[in-house]
């Protein structure tokens, strides 16, 4: 049974007051939610999820929250442009692609559903707001709303689906700038904490540097959120590797995305360093590639999703990683981070579990829902 909006706000506000005053907030006993991975075609059993790219993009619009709208692109053109890249990656062994474009930056779950159906690649989308890039992509209302109010919107998407599509997010995507957290960035982290505690979804945060990563981990910890709920996105941008190690030892996930032909040596070195510290089980790797760039002719340059399979993983094998360690990086770790943690607050979700492993390949059809 779900709480009313008023009752839930009261519960969350009470929890915040308790943690901020130093008293431990005790959530009520509840039956745990099923541990399903949510894709754009519905929830799937974790054990059916194979090789996964944890951070990629299919569509991005950088115009900013004040001007972004679906009428700025033709969904059919985006579909035709992106589909071959998904098919190419699937032929290389890709099972699941985690699409990290957040709301107000071009997130289009209906389009992702079409692409998943046509390509046979499972796709995971997100909820949350992106506060990096000097907050260009934060909607105006977010400055007026409290963290509790923001979290209600994100929890609503996890419960009921995004924008009437019925498609539920499989993770949260937020973003913060480098250095100390600004007021709006801290609010987004607090909202993410509340959403995590209500849904179990993990927090993937575009993070400017190690200072910002530590600040987020400290704030989340003060709110009772374990470090294992936090994914440090773009961790390779922090050059002090001791900070990577410290975050992983706290339990956070450390994501080295940006894998490309030009970065192979650096990314191999980053992975090997974490392995030498006994922390390979906290490492995530991906390209941060794609995408159809709204506003550029035919979407601009689209970087493929195949470097991982064609060059990076073979390079790691030659550097000494075993087949089991390779599987840990590309299957076990992403699977582990996509499985929701147990919700600790009253507003739990109970998704219907489906045994479907990979969406069946079907003819492309239908149109993305337009919103202006």
CATH of the domain at 146: 3.20.20.140
Structure token pair of residue 56:
């990629």
Q: Which residues contact 67 (CB under 8 A, 6 or more apart)?
A: none
Q: Structurally, how many domains does the chain consist of? A: 1
Confidence of residue 345 (pLDDT cuts 50, 70, 90): low
Is residue 107 assigned to a domain? Answer: yes
User: For residue 353, is it within any domain?
Assistant: no
More confident residue, 33 or 308: 308
Say how far apart CA 84 and CA 111 lie, in whole Å.
Answer: 15
Average pLDDT rounded to a whole number, residues 12-38: 47
Question: For residue 170, is it within any domain?
Answer: yes
- Is residue 17 over pLDDT 70? no
Name the token pair of 119: 């390509």
| C-alpha to C-alpha distance for 171 and 338, rounded to whole angstroms | 7
- Quick one: average pLDDT of 132-138? 95
> Residue 29: is its pLDDT beyond 60?
no
**What is the value of pTM for the model shown?**
0.85
| Residue 350 maps to a domain | no
Span 292-305, pLDDT tens digits: 999 999 999 999 99
* Helix H or strand E encompassing 204: strand 203-207
10 part of a folded domain: no
**Residues of the chain above pLDDT 70, percent:** 83
> What's the mean per-residue pLDDT of the chain?
87
Domain extent for 333: 53-338
Q: What are phi and psi of 24, to 5 degrees?
A: -75, 130
Q: Give pLDDT, residue 343.
A: 79
Residue 327 — very low, low, confident or very high, per pLDDT cuts 50/70/90?
Answer: very high
How confident is the model over 311-326, as a mean pLDDT? 98
């Amino acid at each position: 049974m779900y709480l009313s909006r008023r009752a839930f706000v009261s519960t969350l506000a009470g929890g915040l007051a308790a943690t901020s005053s130093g008293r431990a907030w005790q959530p009520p006993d509840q039956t745990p939610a099923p541990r399903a991975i949510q894709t754009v075609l519905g929830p799937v059993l974790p054990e059916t999820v194979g090789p996964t790219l944890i951070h990629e993009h299919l569509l991005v619009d950088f115009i900013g929250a004040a001007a972004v709208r679906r009428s700025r692109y033709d969904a059919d053109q985006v579909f035709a442009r992106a589909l071959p890249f998904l098919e190419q990656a699937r032929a290389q062994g890709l099972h699941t692609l985690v699409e990290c474009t957040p709301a107000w930056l071009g997130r289009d779950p209906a389009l992702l559903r079409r692409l998943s159906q046509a390509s046979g690649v499972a796709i995971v989308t997100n909820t949350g707001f992106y506060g990096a890039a000097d907050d260009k992509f934060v909607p105006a209302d977010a400055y007026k709303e409290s963290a509790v109010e923001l979290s209600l919107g994100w929890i609503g998407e996890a419960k009921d689906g995004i924008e009437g599509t019925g498609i539920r997010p499989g993770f949260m995507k937020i973003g913060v700038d480098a250095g100390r957290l600004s007021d709006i960035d801290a609010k987004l982290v607090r909202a993410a904490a509340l959403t995590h505690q209500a849904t179990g979804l993990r927090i993937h945060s575009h993070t400017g540097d190690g200072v910002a990563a530590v600040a987020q981990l400290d704030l989340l910890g003060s709110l009772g959120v374990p470090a294992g709920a936090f994914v440090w996105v773009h961790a390779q941008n922090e050059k002090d590797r001791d900070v990577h190690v410290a975050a992983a030892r706290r339990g956070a996930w450390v994501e080295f995305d940006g894998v490309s032909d030009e970065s192979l040596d650096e990314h191999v070195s980053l992975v090997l360093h974490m392995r030498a510290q006994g922390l390979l089980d906290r490492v995530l790797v991906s390209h941060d590639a794609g995408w159809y760039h709204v506003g550029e002719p035919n979407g601009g340059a689209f970087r493929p999703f195949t470097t991982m399979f064609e060059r990076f993983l073979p390079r790691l094998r030659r550097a000494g990683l075993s087949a089991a360690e390779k599987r840990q990086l590309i299957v076990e770790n992403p699977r582990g981070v996509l499985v929701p943690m147990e919700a600790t607050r009253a507003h739990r979700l109970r998704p219907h579990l489906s045994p479907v492993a990979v969406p069946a390949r079907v003819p492309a059809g239908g149109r993305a829902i337009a919103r202006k």
